[in-house]
Structure formats: C-alpha cells, structure tokens
Structure 1
Amino acid sequence: MQFLKILFWCLLAFIAAVFTISNWNAVQIQLWGGLIADVNLPLLLLVTFLIGFVPTMLYNHAIRWRLRQRLSTCERELLDLRTPRPEPVVAVPIDGSATRPATPSPIGHPSVVPTTVAPGGAQ
C-alpha cells in the first residue's frame, strides 16, 4: 500500500512538472491604480489554489480539534460514571450489638433540648 502512495505522489509531481514546463508563460494581471503585474501562469495557479485550500484546511483542523476535545470530555465523564463508588463502612461494636443511627427530627421540633451552662461551670 505504501508503494502505491509513493507511486501516486510521484505521478502527480511528474504531471505538475510537465504542466509547469509547457505553460511557463507570463500572464498580465491588472491591479488597482492602473498597475499591471506580470506573473508566470504556474505561480498564479499555485497562489490561487493556496488561497482556496489553506482557509478550508484551517477550518477543518479547528473543527476536528474541537470534536476531539468534546469526545475526550465525554469519555472522562463516562469513566467517572462507570467507576463504582466505595460503600460506606459501618463500625460494629465488638460485643455484636449494632446501634441504630438516630433519625433526624423535623426542623423546629428538636428531640434533645440543649442545656445552658451558667458562668463558673455550675448548672
């Protein structure tokens, strides 16, 4: 397959060289202010090709870069969602009696009334 790629590019370079040699003519381009530029035809064709190709190539690379960034972000988020979360460890007393966690009381109705401490430490 690599041989075919090299053969294709060599054939394309040969065709471009033959075209350049056979069309090495000066072309007059009328510019602003009455200026006239004499430019070789192959150079003019190369410049016009690059004017059309480079912005399209830059746009394509920017879109591909943005899509790669979005894909990597989605892959990271998917990996975070797939990783199992560790289960909370419940401590069991040695004697085997399990204590139930206290249920929270509704707001405004405390189950334990706080005691106030008088200054000096006496109650």
Structure 2
Amino acid sequence: MRTIVWVLLLFSLLAFSFFNWKSVEVQIWSNLVLETKLPALVIVSFLLGLLPMWLLHRASAWRARRRIAALETATHKMSAPAATPTPTATPPVSPPRDDFAPPPANPVDPEPTKP
C-alpha cells in the first residue's frame, strides 16, 4: 500500500513539473531575487515542511521503543523467580596429617612383623 502511495505521489509531481515548467522570481530581500523553476520551488518547499515533522516522528518512535524496552525488562525481572541464596556449608575440618608418623598397627594382622 505504501508503495502505491509513493508511486502516485511521484507521478503527480512529474505531471505537475511537466505542465508547469516555468521560471519564477522569488524576492528574498529587497535587493536579492532568486530566479528558479516552479517545480524546484515546490519540491524544496515540500521537503522543508516534511523534514521537521519526519524528525519529530522518528524521535517520538525512538523514545517509545526505549520506554517499551525498559518496561519489558522490568516485567521480565519481576516475573522471573527470585534466586534463593543457598547457605554455604563449611567443609568439615580434618586433623592435620603427620606424614612422618608410623602407620597404625593393624589389629587384624595375625603375625607381627619381625625386625
């Protein structure tokens, strides 16, 4: 649909330009006169009117996208289950090892070792 509107706008601009290809004088100041073709004057006037409104539209759309993203983030954080902190258990403390101590006697061993 948008393409059809742009094509119709372009066609009407071309038809206007074809039938109104005349030079016009635009008095800017008392001693400054601009002589230009009428279609160029119409196109420049159209763009000067369109540009501020287009920029305003883009800025409001950008602001709306930012607000929506912030609300989605807040909603996502609220709906996510809260992480429950797990209590950190302290590991059991074992007595220090003495590597130079003799091995414990085996009470099940029937024969004592002879030196």
For the criterion TM > 0.5, the same-fold answer is yes
- SS of match in other structure, 1:30: strand
Structure 1, unmatched stretches of 5+, are 92-123
Query: Separation in 1 of the partners of 2:33 and 2:71?
Result: 56
Q: Cα 1:13–1:88, aligned 2, differ >3 Å: closer, same or farther? A: closer
Match of 1:35 in 2: 32
Structure 2, unmatched stretches of 5+, are 89-115
Q: Does residue 18 of structure 2 align to residue 21 of structure 1?
A: yes
Runs of at least 4 residues off by over 4 Å:
4-8, 88-91
- RMSD in angstroms over aligned alpha carbons? 2.2
Percent of matched pairs sharing the same residue:
32
Higher RCO structure (Cα 8 Å, ≥6 apart): 2
TM-score between the two structures when normalised by the length of structure 1: 0.62
TM-score between the two structures when normalised by the length of structure 2: 0.66
Matched letter for residue 55 of structure 1: P
Q: Cα 1:51–1:8, aligned 2, differ >3 Å: closer, same or farther? A: closer
- Number of equivalences: 89
Matched letter for residue 29 of structure 1: V
Q: Cα 1:68–1:7, aligned 2, differ >3 Å: closer, same or farther? A: closer
- In the TM superposition, what is the alpha-carbon distance from 1:18 to its structure 2 partner? 1.5
- Compare CA radii of gyration and give the structure with the larger one: 2
